[in-house]
Structure 1
Amino acid sequence: MTHLLRRTSGAIALTAALLLTGCTGGEPADPAAQPAADGSGHDVGVQLFQWTWDAIAAECTDQLGPAGYAWVLTSPPNEHITGEAWWTSYQPVSYRLESRLGTREQFAAMVRTCHAAGVDVRVDAVLNHMTGQDEPGTGWAGSSYEHDSYPGLWTPADFHRCGLTPSDDIASYADRAQVQTCELLNLADLDTGAPHVRARLTAYLQDLVSLGVDGFRIDAAKHMAAQDVGAILEPLPDDVAVMQEVIRGTAEPVQPDEYVPHGQVYEFTYGKEMLGVVAGSPGLALELGTATARYLPSDDAVAFVENHDTERNGSTLSYRDGTDDALATVLLLAGTYGTPQVYSGYAFDDVDAGPPQDATGRVQDATCGTAPGPGASLAPGDWVCQHRWPQVAGMVGWRGVVGDAPVVDAWSQGDAVALGRGERGFVVVNLGDAELRVTLPTSLPDGGYCDVLTAGGTCMQSTVRDGAVSVVVPPGAAQAWDVAHRA
Structure 2
Amino acid sequence: MDSPRSRGRTRPFLRRTAALAAAALAASLALAVPTADGAVARGRSTQEPGVTVSLWEWNWPSIARECTDVLGPAGYDGVQVAPPQNSLKRTALGNGSDTVLHPWWEVYQAVSYDLTSRMGTEAQFKKMVKACRKAGVKVYVDAVINHTTGQGSTSYGGVDYQPYTYAGTYDKGDFHAPSGECPSSDGGIQDFNAKAQVWNCNLVGLEDLRTGTDDVQAELAGYLNKLIRYGVSGFRVDAAKHMPQRDLDAIYARLNRTADGVRPYWVLEVLPGGPGVLRPEAYLRSGDVLGVDGARQMQQAFKSYTGTGNVGSLSSLEVFGPEAGLTPGAKTLSFVTNHDSERNRNDYLSSQDGPTFILANQWLLAQGYGSPQVYSSFTWEQADASPPARPDGRVTDTVCGQGWTCDHRNPGIVAMVGWHDYVGKAKRANFWSDDANVVAFSKGNRGWVALNNGAAAKQVRVQTGLPGGRYCDVVGGAPSAGACTGTVVTVGSTGFATVTVPAKGVVAITRASRR
Cα distance change of structure 1 residues 118 and 50 upon mapping to structure 2, 3 Å threshold:
same
| Moved segments of 4+, more than 6 Å | none
2:487 corresponds to which residue? 460
The within-5 A match list for 1:124-163 is 124-133=142-151, 135=152, 137-161=153-177, 162-163=181-182
Tell me, what secondary structure is at the counterpart of 1:417? strand
Tell me, what secondary structure is at the counterpart of 1:217? strand
Tell me, what secondary structure is at the counterpart of 2:323? coil
1:48 corresponds to which residue? 55
The question of whether the paired residues in 2 share the 8 Å contact of 1:302 and 1:341 is answered with yes
Tell me, what secondary structure is at the counterpart of 2:112? coil
| 2:437 corresponds to 1:392 | no
2:207 corresponds to which residue? 188
| 2:368 corresponds to 1:365 | no
- Partners of 1:455 and 1:308 lie apart in 2 by 31
- Partners of 1:316 and 1:220 lie apart in 2 by 19
| 2:111 corresponds to 1:90 | no
- Partners of 1:363 and 1:129 lie apart in 2 by 23
Task: Name whichever of 281-290 and 167-176 sits farther off.
Answer: 281-290
The question of whether the paired residues in 2 share the 8 Å contact of 1:80 and 1:92 is answered with yes
Residue 59 (structure 1) aligned to one of 62, 66, 70: 66
1:485 corresponds to which residue? 513
The question of whether the paired residues in 2 share the 8 Å contact of 1:424 and 1:482 is answered with yes
1:432 corresponds to which residue? 454
Residue 246 (structure 1) aligned to one of 262, 270, 279: 270
1:113 aligned partner, one-letter code: A
Cα distance change of structure 1 residues 166 and 103 upon mapping to structure 2, 3 Å threshold:
same
What is the root-mean-square deviation in Å for CA atoms of aligned residues? Answer: 1.7
Gaps of 5+ in 2: 1-41, 91-101, 305-311, 480-484
- Which structure has more RCO (C-alpha within 8 Å, separation ≥ 6)? 1
How far the C-alpha of 1:5 sits from its partner, in A, is 6.0
The question of whether the paired residues in 1 share the 8 Å contact of 2:191 and 2:197 is answered with yes
The within-5 A match list for 1:126-275 is 126-133=144-151, 135=152, 137-161=153-177, 162-236=181-255, 237=257, 238-249=262-273, 251=275, 253-275=277-299
How far the C-alpha of 1:252 sits from its partner, in A, is 6.2
The question of whether the paired residues in 1 share the 8 Å contact of 2:182 and 2:196 is answered with no
How far the C-alpha of 1:344 sits from its partner, in A, is 0.6
How far the C-alpha of 1:77 sits from its partner, in A, is 0.4
Calculate percent identity across the aligned residue pairs.
Answer: 41
2:79 aligned partner, one-letter code: V
The question of whether the paired residues in 2 share the 8 Å contact of 1:5 and 1:240 is answered with no
| Count of residue pairs brought into register by the alignment | 439
- Partners of 1:352 and 1:64 lie apart in 2 by 28
Residue 383 (structure 1) aligned to one of 401, 404, 408: 404
Per-residue CA shift, 1:339-385, capped at 9, x if unaligned?
1111111110010001000133210111224xxxxxxxxxxx71111
How far the C-alpha of 1:202 sits from its partner, in A, is 0.5
2:431 corresponds to which residue? 410
1:111 aligned partner, one-letter code: V
The question of whether the paired residues in 1 share the 8 Å contact of 2:53 and 2:373 is answered with yes
2:18 corresponds to which residue? none
1:85 aligned partner, one-letter code: P
How far the C-alpha of 1:163 sits from its partner, in A, is 4.1
TM-score (norm 1): 0.87
Residue 302 (structure 1) aligned to one of 333, 346, 352: 333
1:31 corresponds to which residue? none
Gaps of 5+ in 1: 7-39, 370-380
| 2:494 corresponds to 1:473 | no
1:289 aligned partner, one-letter code: G
2:62 aligned partner, one-letter code: A
- Partners of 1:268 and 1:397 lie apart in 2 by 24
Task: Name whichever of 381-390 and 105-114 sits farther off.
Answer: 381-390
Cα distance change of structure 1 residues 345 and 5 upon mapping to structure 2, 3 Å threshold:
farther
- Partners of 1:289 and 1:400 lie apart in 2 by 19
